[in-house]
């Protein structure tokens, strides 16, 4: 009983919960490889010339609860100001349940899609729910899950439009992709990088004051604009569609809860960042 209680008393050890094997497993592994201790293993495997011969200036370890307490104390020293950066970067009020289950869940740290379906059914179900919500908000028939970010998705839309050009556009060498000057600068930079090796010319301008030439095969619009302005995109989209052009819209998901979805305006592709959604 005493040994069992000793184990329970150490459940909050940060190293014990997160780092490597326990003492019995370590002893067994050392016996298999013929080393007496971890120190002797280090001596046998690491040359003396690259080893530090003095103790490192590292404090004693603390429990996980104490570590989190100190981390919060350090974070409390930060001065939090209002953010006016815009351009796709927005402050958010994130509910605690989302913090615990999404932002503090290592499975969701990146935008990568899981590739091992047999061990990720729960996550795939969550992605299906995500796709359903995105489809509803954007007004599109289908939604994927997902690409890396808004800029990458915009570049993929451009490349797809280029591959899907009708025969007459290919014959007329229509290699220009029109980008609204109200698009985020980081998106435009990625488009420039992607366009060069594909032989695509970018035309950046005001879509309200542009007559799309025969050289244009697709259009990208920002919704809302980079400066936060919400404009009716239906006129521009209709004009582009009447000329046989593909239209992509870079939209903010949260704003689509209030404004007309791009799919209802006639967009062929809708892209955007969902990291804050």
pLDDT tens digit string along 15-47?
A: 665 667 888 899 999 999 999 999 899 889 999
Q: Is 99 exposed, middle or buried (0-12, 13-18, 19+ CB in 10 A)?
A: exposed
**pTM of the predicted structure, to 2 decimals:** 0.69
- Taking CA 11 as the corner, what is the angle to CA 6 and CA 15, rounded to the nearest 5 degrees? 115
What pLDDT sits at residue 89?
82
Q: Does the structural domain 150-271 have CATH classification 3.40.640.10?
A: yes
Indicate the domain borders of the chain.
12-80, 150-271
Give 10-residue mean pLDDT values along the chain (277 residues). 56 62 89 92 89 83 85 93 81 80 66 59 78 95 91 97 95 95 96 97 94 94 92 95 96 93 97 83
Q: What is the pLDDT of residues 111-153, one digit of tens each?
A: 565 566 555 666 777 788 889 999 999 999 999 988 889 999 9
In this prediction, residue 111 carries a pLDDT of 57
> What is the per-residue pLDDT for 146?
82
């Amino acid at each position: 009983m005493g040994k069992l209680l000793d184990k329970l008393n150490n459940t909050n050890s940060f190293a014990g919960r997160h780092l490597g094997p326990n003492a019995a497993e370590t002893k067994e592994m050392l016996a298999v490889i013929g080393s007496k201790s971890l120190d002797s293993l280090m001596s046998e495997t690491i040359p003396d010339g690259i080893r530090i011969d003095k103790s490192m200036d590292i404090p004693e370890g603390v429990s996980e609860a104490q570590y989190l307490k100190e981390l919060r104390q350090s974070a409390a020293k930060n001065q939090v100001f209002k953010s006016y950066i815009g351009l796709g970067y927005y402050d958010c009020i994130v509910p605690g349940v989302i913090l615990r289950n999404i932002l503090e869940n290592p499975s969701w740290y990146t935008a990568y899609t899981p590739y091992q379906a047999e061990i990720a059914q729960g996550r795939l179900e969550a992605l299906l729910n995500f796709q359903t919500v995105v489809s509803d908000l954007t007004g599109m028939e289908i939604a994927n899950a997902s690409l890396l970010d808004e800029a990458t998705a915009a570049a993929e839309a451009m490349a797809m439009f280029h591959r899907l050009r009708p025969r007459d556009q290919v014959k007329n060498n229509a290699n220009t992709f029109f980008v609204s000057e109200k698009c985020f600068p980081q998106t435009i930079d990625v488009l420039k990088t992607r366009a060069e090796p594909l032989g695509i010319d970018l035309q950046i301008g005001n879509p309200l004051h542009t007559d799309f030439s025969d050289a244009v095969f697709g259009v990208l619009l920002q919704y809302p604009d980079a400066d936060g302005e919400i404009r009716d995109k239906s006129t521009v989209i209709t004009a582009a569609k009447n000329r046989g052009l593909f239209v992509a819209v870079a939209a903010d998901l949260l704003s689509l809860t209030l404004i007309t979805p791009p799919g209802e305006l006639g967009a062929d592709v809708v892209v955007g960042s969902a990291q804050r959604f």
